Structure formats: structure tokens, C-alpha cells
């Protein structure tokens, strides 16, 4: 007779089913990992929204999502509680599990206070907008004080810039290039990036996620 471990393992390798209809195999597979913020996934892959123990998303941009297999395994290991589910189920020959759509961590994960200086966080700070002309798309980054003039690679000297402005400015100073900054670049706080991320919701929100995203929004004065 198969053990409970074997049954859960079979579930994690099985197809997703809808009521009375067989679904396709889930393309997202893999073992449980301790990373909490994952790459966004389409709803067809049935990702689970991951909430901290305070019922707030661990991250807004990218939204904290797990593949359904990891959510099921985390629930079986008593690391999370399932608080909402998809209509679809995963079946093995010996058991059936509803696919989790929202899970909450049992232990609170303290948010990181230090913001890593990465290309993604830089673009997020600048709201994916060129800091010279205000356009979006086709972004790169630019040193306000050129490196050739002693400029350093830091939060205070690097901004998001479109390719056109970046090419126009080149290694010249702001004054010589005729460009001006929309705002002075500064090192962002973690909470600041979190609030900016809430302005960019993904285009694949499941209805069961809405309450947990809506109730964490700030009230307008």
C-alpha cells in the first residue's frame, strides 16, 4: 500500500483536471525551494499567491507566486495554510487535491531592509520611465556624472534612460548635453519600492487574489 509521501509525490507529478474534463500537464515542475518571490507565471500554470503570516503579499512586483506543486508540498509540510483554491484538481490513482490559489505562511518572514542595487530595482525605483524625457520602454541605464569624469556606479548617480537619451548624452555632463533630470536619484527604501510595485499589477490576476491585494492598498485622503 502506498504511503502518504508516495501519494503526495504522485500528485505532484500528475496532470491538472477540471470537473469532468482532463487538463494538460502543468509545465512548471520542480522540487520545493525556500525562495519566496518567484518569476510571474500565467494563470494557465495555476500559480499560488503567497502571503506572509500577516496576510500581506511577500512582494508586489514581481508578485510573490509559487508553482502549484510547491504550494501543495509546502502545505503538506505544514509550512503554509491554504486559504483559497482553483476549481481544478490534481489526481493520482489514490488521492485528489484541489489546486491552491492562495496560501499563507505559518511563520512570519521579516522583509529585507536593504535594497539590492540591481538593474531591476533601479528600473522599479524610476517606475520604468526614462529620467530625462519621461518615455517608457527600450530602457537602459545612464551615469548622470559620466564614469569618464569620475562618476561612480551608485543609486545616486545611475538612472533609467531610454536608448535615445542615453545615446544623445553619451559621456557628456547634463549641462553640456542639454538634458535635465525629472527627479534627483536617491537610494530607495524597501518600503518605497514595495509601494511603487503596487502600481504595476500583473495582467493575470486570479479572482481569488483580489481581496488580498485590494485590502492592502492605501486609503485615499
Alpha-carbon distance values, 140 to 4, 103, 151, 171, 172 (Å): 51, 36, 17, 15, 17
pLDDT in tens, 99-145: 999 999 999 998 777 888 988 889 999 999 999 999 988 899 999 99
- Summarize pLDDT for 168-194 with one digit per residue, the tens: 999 999 999 999 999 999 999 988 888
Which residues have CB under 8 Å from 16's CB, separation 6+? 23, 24, 25, 26, 46, 68, 88, 89, 90, 99
Confidence of residue 33 (pLDDT cuts 50, 70, 90): very low
- Residue 216's pLDDT is 47
pTM of the model: 0.59
pLDDT of residue 105: 97
Report which of residues 107 and 7 the model is more confident about: 107
Higher pLDDT, 161 or 94: 161
**Where is pLDDT greater, at 32 or 65?**
65
pLDDT confidence tier of residue 202, bands split at 50, 70 and 90: low
**CA angle, residues 181, 185, 187, in degrees to nearest 5:** 170
Whether pLDDT at 1 is above 90: no
Span 39-66, average pLDDT: 79
Arithmetic mean of pLDDT, 82-100: 88
Query: What kind of architecture, by CATH, is found in domain 119-177?
Result: Orthogonal Bundle (1.10)
Give the 3-state secondary structure of residue 102.
strand
Residue spans per domain, the chain: 4-112+197-214, 119-177
- Higher-confidence position of 63 and 72: 72
Average pLDDT over the chain, rounded to an integer: 79
Q: Is 18 helix (H, G, I), strand (E, B) or coil?
A: strand
Q: What is the mean pLDDT of residues 30-41?
A: 38
Q: The C-alpha cell of 106 is what?
A: 505559518
Amino acid at each position: 500500500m502506498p504511503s502518504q509521501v508516495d501519494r503526495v509525490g504522485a500528485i505532484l507529478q500528475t496532470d491538472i483536471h477540471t470537473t469532468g474534463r482532463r487538463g494538460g500537464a502543468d509545465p512548471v515542475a520542480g522540487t520545493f525551494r525556500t525562495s519566496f518571490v518567484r518569476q510571474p507565471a500565467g494563470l494557465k500554470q495555476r500559480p499560488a499567491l503567497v502571503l506572509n503570516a500577516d496576510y500581506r503579499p511577500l512582494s508586489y512586483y514581481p508578485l510573490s507566486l509559487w508553482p502549484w506543486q510547491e504550494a501543495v508540498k509546502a502545505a503538506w509540510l505544514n509550512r503554509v495554510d491554504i486559504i483559497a483554491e482553483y476549481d481544478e484538481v490534481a489526481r493520482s490513482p489514490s488521492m485528489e487535491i484541489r489546486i491552491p490559489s492562495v496560501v499563507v505562511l505559518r511563520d512570519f518572514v521579516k522583509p529585507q531592509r536593504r535594497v539590492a542595487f540591481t538593474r531591476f530595482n533601479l528600473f522599479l525605483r524610476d517606475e520604468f520611465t526614462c529620467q530625462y524625457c519621461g518615455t517608457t520602454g527600450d530602457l537602459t541605464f545612464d551615469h548622470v556624472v559620466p564614469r569618464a569624469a569620475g562618476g561612480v556606479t551608485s543609486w545616486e548617480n545611475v538612472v533609467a534612460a531610454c536608448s535615445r537619451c542615453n545615446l544623445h548624452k553619451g559621456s557628456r555632463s547634463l549641462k553640456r548635453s542639454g538634458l535635465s533630470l525629472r527627479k534627483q536619484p536617491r537610494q530607495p527604501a524597501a518600503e518605497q519600492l514595495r509601494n511603487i510595485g503596487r502600481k504595476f499589477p500583473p495582467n493575470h490576476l486570479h479572482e481569488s487574489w483580489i481581496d488580498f491585494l485590494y485590502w492592502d492598498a492605501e486609503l485615499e485622503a
